[in-house]
A = this chain, B = another copy of it.
Amino acid sequence: MADKVLIYSRFPKTMMARFAERFELLDTGGKPAREVFSADELGGIRAMLTAGGTPLGAEAMDLFPKLGAIVCYGTGYDGIDLKAAAARNIAVGHSPGANAASVADIAMTLMLATTRRILVADQYVRSGDWAASKPSPMMRPQAGMPGRRIGVYGMGEIGRKIAARCAAFESKIGYFSRTKYDLPYQYFPTLEALADWCSVLMIAVRAGDETQHVVNADILGRLGADGYVVNISRGSVIDQQALVAALTDKTIAGAGLDVFEKEPHAPDALTALPNVVFAPHLGGHTLESHVAMQNCVLANLGAFFEGKRLPYGVKSA
C-alpha cells in the first residue's frame, strides 16, 4: 500500500499529479483537516505537504499524533512553527533554491514594469490617447536603469540572482543582509543605510518573526520621492498600511508587489493605486520551477518514508 500524505494547503490538482503517482494523497483542499477527514484517518498521518506561508503551529501539529514530516512546497517555511516541530521531533523540509530564478525574474519584471510605467504605457496606446496625442505624464522621461542604485535586502539565492540580473542592466548594486559576503556589491550594515543609498529596494529576505514590518514608514521615507519598492519575499516584511500611505502621498514613486499581508487579499486602498504593479504571488510559478520544487518534495517524502534524513531539510530554530 502507498504511503499516505496529507495535503494541508490548497494546491491545484495539476501540481499534485506527480505526488499522486507515488503516494496516497488525502487532500484537504485547504479546509481544516478535521472537516474533511475523520479523526481516525488523521491519526495515522505521518507526513504532510503544505505551502510554506500557511500557518502551522503547535496546536495544528497536535492533531496528528504520528506526524513526522512537514514538507513545504517551495522555498519558504515561514508559516511553520519550527520550535514546535522540533519539540515534537517533526522534520521540516522545503525546496531551497528551486524557484530562485523564477522569483528573481518576477522581481525584475515588477521593477521594470513599475519604473518604466508599463501599465500606464499600455493603456495609453490601447485607449487611443497616444494616437490622439493626448498629453500624458507617461511622456515625461524617467530615470533609466544604467547608474540606478538598486538595493537588495537579503542575499540568499534569490537576492543573488536579482543582483546578477540588475548588474547586467548597468545598475549599481548595494545590499543589506545579516552576513557580509564576498560579492562584488556594496555592503550596507543596516537596512536604513541601504534605503538612504538606493532608489529601488528589492525585498528578497527570508521572512520570519524578526522581519515582520521591518520595511516601515521610516524605511519608505528614506527611499524618497523617486524611490520604488519591490517585494517578492512575503507580505509580512512590509508594513502594508505604511506602504499604502507612502504610495498615496507620493512619499515614494511606486511599488511592484507579488506578495501581500493576507493573501489572496490585497486591500482596496492598495489596488486602487495607479503607481503599483501587482502579481498574484506567482513569482515561483513557472514550469521549470514547479518541476524543481516537485523534485525536492518527492526527495523529501521518499527519504522520510525510508526512515532517512530529509535531503532538503530546514534547520530547526
Q: Which residues of A are interface residues toward B (Cβ below 8 A)?
A: 12, 101-102, 105-106, 108-110, 112-113, 116, 118-119, 121-122, 124-126, 128, 130-131, 133, 138-139, 141-147, 164-165, 167-170, 264-266, 271, 277-280, 282, 285-290
Contacts and interface: CB of A to CB of B under 8 A. Distances in A.
A309 B128 CA distance: 42
Contacts of A290: 141
A97 to B, nearest CB: 12
A16 to B, nearest CB: 14
Contacts of A271: 125-126, 128
24 contacts: A101-B144, A101-B146, A105-B144, A106-B116, A109-B113, A109-B118, A112-B112, A118-B277, A121-B279, A122-B279, A125-B278, A125-B279, A126-B271, A139-B280, A139-B285, A141-B285, A141-B286, A143-B287, A144-B286, A144-B287, A144-B288, A164-B168, A165-B169, A167-B168
Given A12-B139, A265-B131, A278 B164 contact: no
A125 to B, nearest CB: 4
Quick one: copies of this chain in the complex?
2
Contacts of A124: 280
Contacts of A164: 168
Nearest to A148: B288
Contacts of A170: 101
A278 B126 contact: yes
A123 to B, nearest CB: 8
A288 B147 contact: yes
B264 A144 contact: no
A277 to B, nearest CB: 6
A81 to B, nearest CB: 26
B102 A144 contact: yes
Nearest to A290: B141
A277 B141 CA distance: 19
Nearest to A273: B126
Contacts of A147: 288
Contact of A122 (B143, B169, B277): B277
Nearest to A109: B112
A112 B108 contact: yes
A131 to B, nearest CB: 5
A113 B122 CA distance: 11
B280 A125 contact: yes
Nearest to A126: B271
Contact of A125 (B105, B138, B266): B266
B12 A145 contact: no
A179 B221 CA distance: 50
Given A124-B280, A125-B266, 19 more contacts: A101-B170, A105-B144, A108-B169, A109-B116, A112-B112, A113-B113, A118-B277, A118-B279, A119-B122, A122-B278, A125-B278, A125-B279, A130-B264, A130-B266, A131-B264, A131-B265, A131-B266, A142-B287, A143-B287
